[in-house]
Amino acid sequence: AKRSGNPAALRESKQGIADSHISMGVIYMEQAERERSPAPLKDGVRMSSDKREQLLTEALKEYFASLKLKEELLEQAKRSGNPAALRESKQGIAVSHINIGEVYIKQGKAAEGKKELEKGLALAKEIGSKENVKYSYSGLARADSALAASLSFTPTLSKGEGEKRRWELWKSALENYKM
């Protein structure tokens, strides 16, 4: 495709590579979920799963690689003025942000995950992708729940501040779940 200089062929090739990165990320995520089962006991202590963290890290690498290519495709689509290519690129960017957000949540980085999910949600709304709006809200509910649960272990907040913030996050999680 590169030798021909055909812009449509180049776009299609880059699109295929970006989609392959998403597929690889999904495979790593599925493998990481299989690693979620309780780790064996060693000397009476449950061991954490380094393998699961490695798989999640690999999924992130794949999703970021896809995001980079989709952003390049978006710039090309803007230059060409092709509305279908523009929408397709934004759709791919939204999916990448949503997937990145999901990995962050699974890694215990709910605040980072929430930021990525909000980026995906904004793009999904912009292009009218109801399916990705749904996925974004579902992930945001999980992120808010994780953030609310983590406040139980935050000694820097007074009891009243912590309870108020936890209630706000649970409420937000419920609102996102209802969407």
DSSP for residue 157: S
Residue 155, pLDDT score:
52
First CA to last CA across the chain, in angstroms?
A: 42
Residue 46, pLDDT score:
43
Residue 87 vs residue 39, higher pLDDT:
87
Burial of 97 (0-12, 13-18, 19+ CB in 10 A): buried
* Helix-helix angle 130-150:159-178, to 10 degrees: 160
Residue 42 vs residue 170, higher pLDDT:
170
What is the secondary structure of 4-51 as a DSSP string? TT-HHHHHHHHHHHHHHHHHHHHHHHHHHHHTTSPPPEETTEEPP-HH
Taking the complete model, does pTM exceed 0.95, yes or no?
no
pLDDT of 122-139, one tens digit each? 999 999 999 999 999 999
Residue type for position 125: K
pLDDT of 145-168, one tens digit each? 888 777 655 555 555 565 665 566
Residue 4, pLDDT score:
56
